[in-house]
Amino acid sequence: MEESENVAVTLRGVSVRFGANHALEGIDLVLRQGERVALAGPSGAGKTTLLSLLNGSLSPTTGTVEVLGGDLSRLRPRDLRRVQGRVGTVHQHFDLVGPLRVVHNVNAGRLPAWSLPKAMWSLVSPQEASGAEAALARVGIAEKLYERTDRLSGGQQQRVAVARALVQQPEILLADEPIASLDPGRSLEVMDLLRRLSDETGMTLVVSLHALAYARSHCQRIVGMRGGRIVFDAATAAVTEAMVASLYRLEDAEV
Amino acid sequence: MTPLAQAGAPDLDVLEREGLANVPDTAHDPGPGPDPGDGRGRGYGQRSRLSPRRLWLVVLAAAFVASLLSAGVGRRDLVNPGGWEMVRRFFGAAVRPELGTEFLRLTWDSTLTTLSYAVLGTALSVAIGIVGGVLVSQTWWRSSRQAPRRPGRAQVGGGWLAARGALGVPRAVHEAIWALFLVNVLGRDPLVGVLAIAVPYGAVTAKVYSELLDEAPAAAFRALRAGGAGRLKALFYSLGPQALPDLVSYAFYRFECSIRAATILGFIGAGGLGFQLSLSFQSLRYGEMWTLLYVLILVSGLADLWSRRLRSRLTSPKPALRGHSGRIPPAMYSQAGGTVVGQARPRRDRLLTGSLILAGALVVISVWHLGIDVARLWAGRTRTLLADVASSAFPPRLDGEALTELARLSLETLAMAVLATALATAGAVVVAFVAARRGATSLLARAVLLACRAVPPPVWALLFVFVLFPGPLPGALALAVYNFGILGRLMAEVVENLDPRPVRALMAQGAGPAHAFVYGALPVALPRFAAYGLYRWEVTIRETVVVGLVGAGGLGRLLQTQLASFDYRSVVVTLAALVVLTFVVDLAGASLRRALR
């Protein structure tokens, strides 16, 4: 397996089409391990589509997606799952299971490593609860371990989603609009949290953002997207106001 | 609201209403509480060994075992080996249905009769439902005085509670019992069948309609009232239109149920498919039975399909949950402009308009086919007969011996219902997941479920009586098969409407399909399944009467003997016992649902 030069993700000539709609077109992108990268751009730019390519829940119409040294569309199902287990995702709508207690939602991140009987027994008598508690402690809500997830506030649910990704001990963490539904105070906390986690563990962080301010303050690199294409890809310091403005120009805003 | 709260709160399906509306469902969830430690006090919080939930599960398991024992499972002389030959012959006839012209004509006529009862029963119960629904809605009671609202929670008072409670009584008595009562008052008249459906169903419909009206946003209503509009006018201009889709949708669901009820009424003499089924059975003409059963399955299937189509059209779509990906489907992007354009909605929905016209036509045809004569209701004879029944029923006969027997039979009835519901729920949970998928196995599962619920419980009971000695067990099994058909279908709908995102999220991080199912789908589905199971338990306790009438034991059996000997003074007591039992089960069911939520 080639993991030369610490490359985490390589996309070559990637396009994704849903019928006549070109969600992504001609994407080439290389992300290095430990990088903190922001995907910026208006709604419909293809940010979510790009992230679902990276965690293997979508395969490209053309082109190749290599994650942690494996070409996702060529891997056998079992190997694909192994790679997926090394990529954590925090979804825009958290995608937690509401009626389950927090401990189970966090432990869901361990499912790839667990046998089915163990997974089922855990729902009756929580397994590895200390691991889940440690992950929750890192996101600052350890005391919520045994609460029902749908009774938590939005910000707390967001943290549970992060904790679920953390127990995977991922090498890459994908976050899809992690602050879209949070107030400014919570937004800053979550972004700080993501940056700290990436610093501590050296994991690659890919986060899609509406708010350019957070991309500037928390990421090292910004990939600007519009209409399914990459408009610019530069270190944060090199991103100018003109480049940002080009993302959100009103005319021909979408495909 | 957080995204999860939205995802976890799909519109309360109209189907759920009947059973679940009196318990606030997720739709009424207080939402994520900012209060830390909120969950701890409620029993979710602690990892205690004996949370109320677990305690209830233990109680349920114990009730199931007790019911098994009381139904005689484990005793030697349970199975009648001689009966297998009859069962073989019955199922052998499945490939040789009677297709003679004469019989087909009879079948056609019977189908029309059953349908007519169902149509008129539904129409009348909807009419009762609209009037009653307005009268028992909280909005109506609250706005009784044209006065400025006081701050704080408006009181609805005891009048409203009494009105709501009164609706429970007609519902507690099964359609078949209503029919047997009405026959004594009206004589053999088609009105009996119509009213027997319309009275209990009208009560439920009124209850559900009042809840629908109360759930509709009340701001517009208050604005109109503040503008000086009268109560009724304000209601028709604000709440009515807002709740209309749900009202229509529920009416069609009622129609499905009415077909089943009309068939059962046939068994006790109202004519139609049920009546022919019992005649053919008595003369052991299995071929004829199969013709009738096939027609019944076909009619039920068509009615289900019609109502389902219509309901999915009427209830508001849930794009985030329905779509495969939650994305806007590509087809909705216009090619040139780039803005999202929804398909222009046709001003008139053809399916909807057609359905309403067809429904109207069916009502007219039914009146003509059955030869309904409404004047019969206030004929002098009716009044005399009503007085006769009333005088012969009082005073109720109450003595110690009868009471002991009544208590024993009540327990037997309860055991039948517990057993039937437990078996039906267990089977339905498994089959629901199969039926909700696509492909051939799903079609097969759906067909089996349809057959199970289209064949009325008395027929299932008669079949089980072939191989099992009469008693509560064959009755319980008959109700189990029938409820399995209904529950399986309700649960399959739950599965279809599950939020697919958690499962997708788990798969995306490398969990296998089985793992993802156990963590992402089951925990959401199981509480709803349990709620449906409990709801059917409440319905089943009423339906035990039907299998009791064909000799399967319980209070229904007792009622049948008492009715046959015109012992109305005892009938009243048995009926009272049934009503009490029903209320007890309703209460238990409601508190269980709350505990399991």
The residue behind tokens 């371990």 is A145
- Mean pLDDT over B222-227 rounds to 73
**Dihedral (Cα; A65, A68, A72, A77), 10-degree rounding:** -170
Q: How far apart are CA B179 and CA B169, in angstroms?
A: 15
Q: Could you tell me where the beta strands, DSSP code E, fall in B212-335?
A: none
User: Which residue of A lies nearest to B336 if distances are taken between CA atoms?
Assistant: A255
Nearest CA to B494 out of B514, B516, B523 is that of: B523
Chain B closest-CA separation from residue A114 CA (Å): 9
Cβ contact (<8 Å) for B44 and A112? no
Pick from A87, A96, A254: which is nearest to B509 by CB?
A: A87
Residue B174 clears pLDDT 90, i.e. is over it: no
User: Which residue of B lies nearest to A153 if distances are taken between CA atoms?
Assistant: B32
Nearest CA to B406 out of B289, B240, B282, B576 is that of: B576
Q: Which of residues 57-116 of A touch B (CB under 8 A)?
A: 57, 80-89, 91-101, 104, 108-109, 111-112, 114, 116
What residues of chain B lie within 8 A of the CB of A20, using their CB? 330-331, 333, 335
Residue B264 clears pLDDT 50, i.e. is over it: yes
Prior bond to A60 cis, omega within 30? no
What residues of chain B lie within 8 A of the CB of A86, using their CB? 510
Nearest CA to A90 out of B509, B127, B300 is that of: B509
Burial of B250 (C-beta count, 10 Å sphere; 0-12/13-18/19+): buried
Q: What confidence score (pLDDT) does residue B155 get? A: 54
- Give, as one character, the DSSP assignment of residue A204: E
Residue A246 clears pLDDT 90, i.e. is over it: no
Cβ contact (<8 Å) for B330 and A21? yes
Q: How far apart are CA B420 and CA B424, in angstroms?
A: 6
Q: What confidence score (pLDDT) does residue A12 get? A: 92
Residue A124 dihedral angles phi and psi, to the nearest 5°: -90, -50
Residue B349 clears pLDDT 80, i.e. is over it: no
Pairing of β A70-71 and β A62-67: antiparallel
Nearest CA to B60 out of B446, B444, B530, B569 is that of: B530
Q: What is the pLDDT of residues A133-177, one digit of tens each?
A: 998 988 888 898 888 888 888 888 888 988 988 888 899 999 998
CA distances from B209 to B239, B543, B596 (A): 11, 24, 26
A63-67, B230-234, B424-428, B577-581: lowest mean pLDDT where?
Answer: B230-234
Q: What confidence score (pLDDT) does residue B144 get? A: 58
Pick from B2, B33, B40: which is nearest to A157 by CB?
A: B2
- The reported pTM is 0.75
Q: What is the pLDDT of residues B104-116, one digit of tens each?
A: 898 899 999 999 9
Nearest CA to B9 out of B30, B40, B39 is that of: B30
Cβ contact (<8 Å) for A146 and B515? no
Q: How far apart are CA B413 and CA B584, in angstroms?
A: 13
- Mean pLDDT over A103-128 rounds to 86
Q: How far apart are CA B32 and CA A152, in angstroms?
A: 5
